[in-house]
Chains A and B, each alone.
Chain A
Amino acid sequence: MLTAGRVASLGALVIMIIVYAWLLTRARKGKVPRIRKMAGFDAIEEAVGRATEMGKPVFFTPGVSGFDHADSPQTIAGLTVLRHLSKLTAKYKAPLIAAVSKATVLPVAEETVRQGYLEAGAPEAFKPSMIRYLSDEQFAWAGGCIGIMHREGVAANIMIGNFMGESLLLAEAGYQAGAIQVAGTANRSQIQFFVTVADYCLIGEEIFAAGAYLFQDPVQLAGLGAQDVAKWVAIGAIVGGIILKVLGMPVILDLLKM
């Protein structure tokens, strides 16, 4: 009944489901995995501090995508960072400018920042004008962001989300404005520009750890835990498989071919 050649995949899927379910139940009891230090996220506080010292604004954008594509997890990761960032700007009294590129993201971003200021105990410091909707069009939005960075002379530029053709433009503008830059994206054909231009970079999957890292969200921590177990399995299979194969016992390889 099982399709030949796909048994190993089925096994892997079942293992992942069981591990994830187990970690989720543990998380419900308050037992969550610990997360490693991530310099990119820590740098946000440093950036805000610098902006406060200089009395210049912090610029933020969650990328070009909205919620209706496969890229929406990246937008959500960006907004998670925005919530953390707005708490910090409220705490340090640094001016914040968040520019969104999709009309659908605007209300969510507004609510996020309002919430951030409320949690930091400074709801009166929140102004809706902190969040700017520039345009749904890719380059009109990017052009708007560049304009803001130049005009306002931003001290920090934080970009987390999905970035496409405009990634290098934005990073260049931040660099020209002399801002400290923290940038991250899971877009596989743009990340290299952030690595070469930004001061701190969050690479690929790292941005999806935002909720777990910044807010210790138990469901997300359980998800990361499950992913790491799968990575250990992959590492074990590769290392063990190669060693056994060299020793003339290709057991793991045969298993994977099932």
Chain B
Amino acid sequence: MAKEDMWGKLGRIDPRILYVLLVIILIIPLIAPIGLPIPITSETRKIYDAVEKLPPGSVVVCAMDTSGAAWGENGPQAKAILRHLFQKPLKIVVVSFEADGPMLGQRALLEVPKGEKKYGVDYVNLGFVAGGETGRAAFGRDVQKLISKDFLGNPLEKLPIMEKVRNAEDFALFFTFTSLISAVEMYVRQLYAPYKTKVVAGIIGLGVPAVVPYYNAGQLFSILSGSLGAGEYELLSKMPGEGVRLSDALSLSTLLVVVLIVVGNAAFFGDKLRGKEEKR
């Protein structure tokens, strides 16, 4: 009898108790980091090696197709990649095809150390291009005919970097930082299929399983998976930041979910079993 009550109680617990539990689990590693090891996946390493091997002067595009809501994962990703890019003799183009992007791109550009790099010469923020799939296709086709000014209002003619940025054939590597599976697919359709551009999908974790087949088929150059990918990249480039900081709390909270699912199901089946016995 006592056992039945326990199962019953377990099933009816106030969710607010669970919320408090989660808050505690998240706060502990933030105050006292545990420093659980982060294994590096082959996908992340492939991106790092590719950036390292790019010939000097190559154009790298970072498409900020993200939003405020997804910034918690896309932000660390974008910053980890940008930090590394700024250390290399590369030309960096920030652009976005989702309305929230240019501002967040600007924010990332402001937050990362830029070394000797000069705006307009080594890097640029081209702002927002509307039209979704159409905007992406038009950008790959001819950048300068499409856009006439950057996000800060400078005409493109005044930006020396733009001499090297004409169309998709100039993009040595193309990153997208996004929460949208559809955005990644648009690049597969509009940049990879026609121009064989090397597209790297910096996508939030939940989108990864849906884009893996494109990676497997060679249509995506690589995938940077959520904040975990950001953490891995930070470790590879020896500049630990937000991604690494997130990792412990992520570990513990995910573990909490696993435990809750197991206990919840145990309560459920315990209840079911009890029901069956009563019927007898």
Task: Tell whether any CB of A sits under 8 Å from a CB of B in the complex.
Answer: yes
Chain A positions within 8 Å of B, measured between CB atoms, are 70, 188-189
Contacts of A189 in B (CB 8 A): 181, 206-207, 210
| CB nearest neighbor in A for B261 | A196
B237 contacts the other chain (Cβ, under 8 Å)? Answer: no
Contacts of A70 in B (CB 8 A): 182
Residue pairs across A and B with Cβ atoms less than 8 A apart, 7 shown, are A70-B182, A188-B181, A188-B210, A189-B181, A189-B206, A189-B207, A189-B210
| CB nearest neighbor in B for A190 | B206
User: How far, in angstroms, from A189 to B182 measured CA to CA in the complex?
Assistant: 11
User: How far, in angstroms, from A203 to B210 measured CA to CA in the complex?
Assistant: 15
Contacts of A188 in B (CB 8 A): 181, 210
Chain B positions within 8 Å of A, measured between CB atoms, are 181-182, 206-207, 210
User: How far, in angstroms, from A70 to B210 measured CA to CA in the complex?
Assistant: 18
User: How far, in angstroms, from A189 to B210 measured CA to CA in the complex?
Assistant: 8
Contacts of B181 in A (CB 8 A): 188-189
Shortest CB distance A68–B (Å): 13
Q: Is the interface of B mostly helix, strand, loop or mixed?
A: helix
User: How far, in angstroms, from A172 to B206 measured CA to CA in the complex?
Assistant: 20
| CB nearest neighbor in A for B132 | A70
Shortest CB distance A149–B (Å): 15
| CB nearest neighbor in A for B69 | A165
Contacts of B182 in A (CB 8 A): 70
6 interchain residue pairs of minimum CB distance: A189-B206, A188-B210, A188-B181, A189-B207, A189-B181, A189-B210
| CB nearest neighbor in A for B210 | A188
| CB nearest neighbor in B for A189 | B206
Shortest CB distance B130–A (Å): 15
User: How far, in angstroms, from A70 to B180 measured CA to CA in the complex?
Assistant: 13
User: How far, in angstroms, from A255 to B239 measured CA to CA in the complex?
Assistant: 48
Shortest CB distance A25–B (Å): 31
User: How far, in angstroms, from A188 to B207 measured CA to CA in the complex?
Assistant: 9
User: How far, in angstroms, from A217 to B272 measured CA to CA in the complex?
Assistant: 42
| CB nearest neighbor in B for A196 | B261
Shortest CB distance A99–B (Å): 22
| CB nearest neighbor in A for B133 | A70
Shortest CB distance B50–A (Å): 24
User: How far, in angstroms, from A189 to B206 measured CA to CA in the complex?
Assistant: 7
| CB nearest neighbor in A for B207 | A189
Contacts of B210 in A (CB 8 A): 188-189
User: How far, in angstroms, from A70 to B186 measured CA to CA in the complex?
Assistant: 13
User: How far, in angstroms, from A189 to B273 measured CA to CA in the complex?
Assistant: 33
User: How far, in angstroms, from A189 to B207 measured CA to CA in the complex?
Assistant: 7
| CB nearest neighbor in B for A172 | B15
Shortest CB distance A207–B (Å): 17
| CB nearest neighbor in B for A70 | B182
Shortest CB distance B170–A (Å): 20
| CB nearest neighbor in B for A188 | B210
User: How far, in angstroms, from A167 to B181 measured CA to CA in the complex?
Assistant: 18
Shortest CB distance B139–A (Å): 19
User: How far, in angstroms, from A188 to B211 measured CA to CA in the complex?
Assistant: 11
Shortest CB distance A187–B (Å): 10
User: How far, in angstroms, from A188 to B206 measured CA to CA in the complex?
Assistant: 10
Contacts of B206 in A (CB 8 A): 189
User: How far, in angstroms, from A59 to B76 measured CA to CA in the complex?
Assistant: 41
Shortest CB distance B214–A (Å): 13
User: How far, in angstroms, from A70 to B181 measured CA to CA in the complex?
Assistant: 13
Shortest CB distance B17–A (Å): 16
User: How far, in angstroms, from A61 to B181 measured CA to CA in the complex?
Assistant: 25
Shortest CB distance B133–A (Å): 10
User: How far, in angstroms, from A167 to B182 measured CA to CA in the complex?
Assistant: 19
User: How far, in angstroms, from A189 to B184 measured CA to CA in the complex?
Assistant: 14
Shortest CB distance A19–B (Å): 22
User: How far, in angstroms, from A188 to B209 measured CA to CA in the complex?
Assistant: 10
